[in-house]
Amino acid sequence: MLTIGELASHSKVTVRAIRHYHAKGLLPEPERDHSGYRRYDAGAVVELIKIRTLAEAGVPLARVRELLRAGEEEFAAAIADIDRRLRAEIRERRRHREHIARLASGDSLALPPEVVEFLDRLRALGVDERIVRVERDGWIPLAAHSPERVPEWMARKREQLADPQLVDFYRTLGQALDRADDDPRLAELADELAAYITRMADEQGEDYVDDADIEPPFAKLMDTLAFDTAPPARRLIELLRTRGWTGWTKLERVDPPQP
C-alpha cells in the first residue's frame, strides 16, 4: 500500500494535484488506516497517470471524468479525437513561430519575399533608410490590397533599378529629406526630380512613371503614410506640382500654376 506522497512520486504529480483530483471526483479517496493515513493500491498509480496524461494534453477535467468511465471503443475514439486536436494545435503553434520569426526579421513581417528583396536592393544601392521605410510602409497595404499583382510590380521594379538614373532619383529623394521647407536646396532638388520624371515620361511614356495603376483613394492613403514617415516629402510634392507633376504614389502630369 502507498502513502499519498509515494503515490505522487510514482505518478509524477504533486500531492496538491492528487487532493484536487479527489475534490473533483476523478480519483476515489481511499479509507484511512488505523493510523489515520490514506493508503493507495497500485491501481491508483495507473488511474492517476491516466488523469495526468489527459490533463496535460489539455483535456478539461470534466471530460477526463467522462473518459475514465468510458468503454474501450469510446475511449479509443475520444483519444483519437484529442490526438487530431493536438496535431492541429501543433500546426497552429508552428505558424505562430513562423510569424514570430518574421517579426524578428523586420521587413518580412508583413511583406512578400520579393518585396523584401527589393527593399534590401535599395539599401545595397545606398538609398537613404528613410526612403526605404517609406517604400516599405507603402508596400505593406499595397501587397495586402492586391497580392496577386505583387509579382508583376516587382518585376517592373527590378527592371527599373537597373537604370542608374532611377537610383539617382532615389538618392536625390534621400537628400531632400534633410532639408527644411524654406531651404533653397530643396527647390533645386525638386528641379532635379521634375527633370528626371519629365525625361522618363518623354522617353518611356507616362506609364513608366505611373506603372502601378493604383486607384486614387488608395494612392492617397499611401501618400499619407509616406508623409507621416518622412514629413519633408510633403513639401517636396508641393514644389513638384509647380514644376508640372503631382502625387507621390501616383505621379501625374499637371499644368503648372500660372505666375
Task: Quick: pLDDT tens for 172-222.
Answer: 778 777 777 778 888 888 888 888 888 877 877 766 656 566 777 777 887
**Residue 197: what are its φ and ψ, rounded to 5°?**
-60, -45
For range 77-95, the mean pLDDT? 84
Residue 104 pLDDT exceeds 60:
no
Residue 109 pLDDT exceeds 60:
yes
pTM, two decimals, is 0.51
* pLDDT recorded at residue 15: 92
Instruction: Measure CA of the first residue to CA of the last residue in the chain; give whole Å.
Output: 104
Closest among 185, 213, 205 to 253, alpha carbons compared: 205
Higher per-residue confidence, 96 vs 125: 125
Residue 134 pLDDT exceeds 70:
yes
Judge residue 135's burial from the number of C-beta atoms within 10 Å of its C-beta, 0-12 exposed, 13-18 middle, 19 or more buried: buried
Residue 224 is classified by DSSP as H
* pLDDT recorded at residue 16: 92
pLDDT exceeding 70 applies to what percent of the chain?
90
Do 212 and 131 form a contact (C-beta atoms < 8 A)? Answer: no
Residue 98 pLDDT exceeds 80:
no
- The whole-angstrom separation of Cα 106 and Cα 89 is 26
Q: Where are the domains of the chain?
A: 4-102, 107-253
**Residue 157: what are its φ and ψ, rounded to 5°?**
-65, -40
CATH of 4-102, one of 1.20.1600.10, 1.10.1660.10, 3.40.50.300, 3.40.1440.10: 1.10.1660.10
Judge residue 138's burial from the number of C-beta atoms within 10 Å of its C-beta, 0-12 exposed, 13-18 middle, 19 or more buried: buried
Q: Give residue-wise pLDDT tens across range 1-58.
A: 888 889 899 888 999 999 998 988 888 888 888 888 888 888 889 889 988 888 887 7
Do 150 and 143 form a contact (C-beta atoms < 8 A)? Answer: yes
Do 255 and 246 form a contact (C-beta atoms < 8 A)? Answer: no
- The whole-angstrom separation of Cα 126 and Cα 136 is 16
